[in-house]
Structure 1
């Protein structure tokens, strides 16, 4: 496995192209029109933030709102407001935290699971059409590389957080 380059080293042309492609994918996937089209196909009237929260809850065990905020990289107050709205709409419920009776965790309701299933199904149908000319082997390679890239990004983010904590602890008090 190649050693990571220090941040000061110039980026390779391949990394520059990957970053450009990721920006294009992000732009395409986060456009309001694209989101609205996906929600119409799924028959689910949710905004992007609500969908992101529901996806995170669906992909994990019930979590505390603070844990959800950390995983999504947003402020806890943002998650609290979203959870309140989703709870009123019947998509999530609060359950006691088995580790701390004072705390609560957020879990999907049956309605929330059905909504996420429909959203994912609509997204997969669109992706299936877009990638219909790719061979099964190309799709397997892409999936493998995407998962590897995400894992590396997550590992880098954790390392960056640790470095920032160490630097903050080492700073002299002013």
Structure 2
């Protein structure tokens, strides 16, 4: 039985393929009939069989010895070096190894729970947020955020309060215990920057800081503030502050939300 576009194979506990074929737009009912028939037939031959479905056309690996290996495309023109350096930095800082190192060094109360660590880290920047608003930032689906929030609630690190803009929804924020954990995370990150810029002069660091913040604010403005929405960092305010202009007080300034959340922490 062969049709292009869909493949299946039956394998046993041993590395042996009993049957294989390719199927194109196979009706679901016919597919299940094939599954049942194949398992029933294989049972008499090899005992327990496992059917593995692969919804893709057959494709063999390309032997690079038989083709001309082309170099990867190189960045050209203005910003080429900057782009590569930025890519290297972002990739490294978002790596699992770096995140796990900070999680461990900050003595995070939920060992190994990276999603909970990332969500709490978002609240350092946001102070309070709707749970679904941080889904994109921590790389998970909205349906999974509630489970992560619940683990943080049980640990006493996060609490809830009504959304002032929509009473039917709730917002989450750090409890006093959660703030202590957040301070440890910030301390670990700050210590790393102290080492990185140890041999930089104050003028060099100040100039770099202004240019980086200006860059991020400029990109954010061109992207309709997508960076602010995703990260929770108010880059526009950072740019204004570094330019020496007065910064208006914000309700999201760390401190206020924790007071409102006291007593609302779920207990195990």
> TM-score, normalising length from structure 1?
0.73
Q: Number of residues paired by the alignment?
A: 150
Tell me how far apart the structure 2 counterparts of residues 155 and 103 of structure 1 sit (CA, whole Å). Answer: 29
* Structure 2 runs not aligned, ≥5 long: 1-74, 227-268
The aligned counterpart of 1:32 is 96
Larger Rg: 2
Tell me how far apart the structure 1 counterparts of residues 144 and 196 of structure 2 sit (CA, whole Å). Answer: 33
Deviation at 1:148, TM superposition (A): 1.4
Tell me how far apart the structure 2 counterparts of residues 158 and 103 of structure 1 sit (CA, whole Å). Answer: 25
Q: Which residue of the other structure, out of 175, 178, 200, is the alignment partner of 1:109? A: 175
Say whether 1:141 aligns with 2:207: yes
Q: Which residue of the other structure, out of 222, 229, 246, is the alignment partner of 1:156? A: 222
Q: Which residue of the other structure, out of 163, 184, 189, is the alignment partner of 1:118? A: 184
Q: Secondary structure at the match of 2:129?
A: coil
User: Taking CA–CA contacts closer than 8 Å with sequence separation of 6 or more, which of the two structures ends up with the larger relative contact order?
Assistant: 1
RMSD: 2.5
The aligned counterpart of 1:5 is none
Tell me how far apart the structure 2 counterparts of residues 47 and 136 of structure 1 sit (CA, whole Å). Answer: 37
The aligned counterpart of 2:81 is 17
Deviation at 1:153, TM superposition (A): 2.5
CA 1:16–1:81: 2 relative to 1, 3 Å: farther
Q: Secondary structure at the match of 1:57?
A: helix
* Structure 1 runs not aligned, ≥5 long: 1-10, 161-174
Deviation at 1:89, TM superposition (A): 1.9
